């Protein structure tokens, strides 16, 4: 919306590696807040407020092995997610 095109020099699959790179001053990162809670508490990282930015939406997928009976725990987890994401998570 702001006509800003990020200059992405690197993408990492590891949150720990991402945090270490940011701590070393090698860039910035968009990560779930919960994953940097400890670093925020210790002051190792700081969070930039994005209050005027529309929240980032992500698609998630719940996966489990086909043709296998689900345990009660797995079914309870699926049911909980379905309740939380009822309009957004098709559960079959």
Report the pLDDT value the prediction gives residue 4, as an integer from 0 to 100. Answer: 76
For the segment 33-45, what is each residue's pLDDT rounded down to a tens digit?
889 999 999 999 9
Nearest Cα to Cα of residue 58 among 30, 25, 83, 19 = 30
SS (H, E, C) 21-60: HHHCCCCCCCCCHHHHHHHHHHCCCCCCCCCCCCCCCCCC
Which residues of the chain fall short of a pLDDT of 70? 1-2, 87-92
Report the pLDDT value the prediction gives residue 59, as an integer from 0 to 100. Answer: 75
Mean pLDDT score of the chain: 83
């Amino acid at each position: 919306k702001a006509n800003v095109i990020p200059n992405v020099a690197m993408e990492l699959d590891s949150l720990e590696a991402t945090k270490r790179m940011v701590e070393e001053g090698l860039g910035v990162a968009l990560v779930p807040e919960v994953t940097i809670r400890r670093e925020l508490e210790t002051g190792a990282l700081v969070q930039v407020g994005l209050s005027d930015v529309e929240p980032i939406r992500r698609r998630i997928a719940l996966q489990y092995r086909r043709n296998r009976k689900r345990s009660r725990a797995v079914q309870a987890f699926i049911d909980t997610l379905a309740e939380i994401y009822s309009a957004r998570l098709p559960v079959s």
